[in-house]
Amino acid sequence: MKPPSLKLCAGGYLKSRIRNLIDVMFILEGTYPYVSGGVSSWVHALISGMPNLKFGIIYLSEAYRDDRPFKYQVPDNVVCLLEVSVFDLVSMPPDPKASRHGSWRAFASLAQGLEEGEIEDFEDLFVHLGFGG
């Protein structure tokens, strides 16, 4: 179930608020809070075991779905959930100008952006890897 404090975040919201709102950010693929067991179990245990910290989740999914049910009662200290649909990015037309050097630059930019609370560079990384453009 979605706790009242959980925000389904858009990139701009996350970018402007992450430094003040979130202590720990999880980047999860195909797991918590939509899939039970395995990795989801320990993610839930970590979040539940540290109620003094605020958590955000970037959930990498195959495709966005409005009706995807939670498999866990998400604790109140999860304050933001952003779903990134990887399939939507991969299904973009290939970029013939994609280069290895550009891919590393895009990855470095994504890593730096995450440190600064920005997540918009996910799409740019996929473009530079040649998945879309």
Query: Which sequence spans correspond to the domains of the chain?
Result: 1-87, 92-133
CA distance 125 to 81: 21
**DSSP 8-state assignment for residue 94:** P
**64-96 pLDDT tens trace:** 777 889 999 999 999 888 777 766 655 555 556
pTM of the model: 0.64
CA distance 14 to 21: 9
**42-65 pLDDT tens trace:** 999 999 999 999 998 888 887 777
**91-133 pLDDT tens trace:** 555 556 655 566 667 667 777 776 776 666 655 665 555 544 4
CA distance 50 to 118: 24
Enclosing H/E stretch for 85: strand 78-85
